[in-house]
Amino acid sequence: MKFADSEFDPYFLALPTSSAIPLVCDSPHSGVIYPADFQYCIPVAELRSAEDTYVDELWQAIPSIGGSLLAANFPRSYIDPNREVDDIDPNILAEPWTTDLHPSEKSRLGHGLIWSKARKQPIYDRKLWVAEVENRIGTYHQPYHQALARQIEAAHERFGVVWHLNLHSMPSNSYEVLEIDTDKPLADFVLGDRDGTTCDPTLIGIIEDFLLERGYTVARNDPFKGVALIARIGRPRENRHSLQIEVNRALYMDEDTYEKSANFGKLQTDLTLLSARVAEFVKSVI
């Protein structure tokens, strides 16, 4: 992670380095540059639990197979680009919001647009002013969404179809974090399409088969179905397909020290091969 002492670009965009295909990938939660005005009150190690650390690096081969890869530079604990702008718990604000709010279950857990908790600990020892939240939206959240929308629309306009992969990592104790009482082990990968509504199942099947063949465990929509980004982008009837891919952090990093584990290279290689397999599919249907 880095602590910014000045303004920085809200995202990094890697464009195709080979013949472009209508594949747009984004990592909204891998940002590790912490803005100077982020006045949190908990230990950094706790705060960093919100990061999808290294996810953009795990999928770094995307541009080489013709896709684009957008990654947030800011941390999701500051503002979460995978939430709608009205997904705010009014209890975290020092004054009324300017329009109607629609806090989701994520907000109840402390993980709405503006996170209020990390590993169950309060992030702030104060309430936030409307102006500072609006600044986060205008400076970080909105530019990220605009950049992603530009990539999506350009691909759809050029090819008549677009395939979007929304890339994440999940804590190995995700069921506990989500307050789900179960004895089931968390899968290595969770593929989320909001219960079959955001993506052609053919692609999901190809990805699932690939991962199973390499010895990984795979679940669909359990416990992650996908949130704001794939809900907004995924409209299969309009040839707009969006799939969320969650990878278990225990596969590639130490969740306490945030250091890469010995398995990082193997997982990165497998995801490079998976990226090539996805590219084969996309090319076969355009």
* Cα Rg of the chain (Å, integer): 18
The residue-averaged pLDDT of 11-17 equals 98
Reply yes or no on whether the pLDDT at 5 is more than 90: no
Nearest CA-CA partner of 17 in 82, 74, 67 = 67
Q: Which two tokens stand for residue 107?
A: 């907000």
Q: State how far the alpha carbon of 198 is from the alpha carbons of 31, 161, 221, in Å.
A: 25, 13, 12
Measured between alpha carbons, how far is 218 from 1 in angstroms, rounded to an integer? Answer: 30
What's the pLDDT at 66? Answer: 98
**128-145 average pLDDT score:** 98
With contact defined as beta carbons under 8 Å apart, do 64 and 17 qualify?
A: yes
Residues 69-76, mean pLDDT to the nearest whole number: 98
The rounded mean pLDDT for the chain is 97
186-208 mean pLDDT: 98
Euclidean distance between CA atoms 254 and 91, whole angstroms: 34
Helix-, strand-, coil-residue percentages of the chain, each rounded to 5: 35, 20, 45
Which pLDDT score is estimated for 216? Answer: 98
Q: What is the per-residue pLDDT for 100?
A: 97
What tokens does 112 get? 């709405």
Q: What angle separates helix 201-213 from helix 264-284, to the nearest 10 degrees? A: 150
**Domain 2-82+124-284 carries which CATH code?**
3.40.630.40
- Measured CA to CA, the distance from residue 113 to residue 134 in angstroms comes to 11
DSSP element (H, E) containing 243: strand 240-248
Asked if 21 and 63 touch (Cβ cutoff 8 Å), the reply is no
How do beta strands 68-72 and 23-27 pair? parallel
Q: Report d(CA 170, CA 76) in Å as an integer.
A: 13
Q: What is the mean pLDDT of residues 202-216?
A: 98
Q: Are 216 and 190 in contact (CB under 8 A)?
A: no
Instruction: Let me know if 8 is exposed, middle or buried by CB neighbors in 10 A (0-12, 13-18, 19+).
Output: middle
Whether the model pTM is above 0.95: yes
At 6, the pLDDT band (50, 70, 90 cuts) reads confident
Tell the burial category of 186 from Cβ atoms under 10 Å away from its Cβ (0-12, 13-18, 19+): buried
pLDDT digits (tens, 9 = 90+) for 213-272: 999 999 999 999 999 999 999 999 999 999 999 999 999 999 999 999 999 999 999 999
Q: What is the mean pLDDT of residues 201-209?
A: 98
Contact, 243 vs 203, CB < 8 A?
yes
Domain residue limits, the chain? 2-82+124-284
